[in-house]
Amino acid sequence: MSERTAVIASRVGLHARPAGIFVAAVGELPLEVTIAMAGEPADDAMDASSILSIMSLGASNGDTVVLRAEGEGADEALESLVKILETDLDAE
């Protein structure tokens, strides 16, 4: 299982637009990706391809989240997702 942490960079957190961009990127991957707030048990992780899960996560600017995936290409996939989360998508 590959795991990466990311600090949410969007000024208002993972609200509709940044969450939508992130979910679309996850949906293009041939892997199941989960997301959780840092410090939460892995069993509480949510489906990262679900906009409802991402919105209910309640991640704000500066919060740390943990992404997990398993399978071929998981490390590269998680790195690309970290880059999305650590970009201020509200500034674009």
Q: Which of 2, 15, 32, 90 is catalytic?
A: 15
Nearest Cα residue to 67 out of 52, 86, 88: 86
Told to judge if 52 belongs to the known catalytic residues of this protein, a careful annotator would answer no
List Cβ neighbours of 41 (8 Å cut-off, separation of 6 or more).
none
Q: Which are the catalytic amino acids?
A: 15
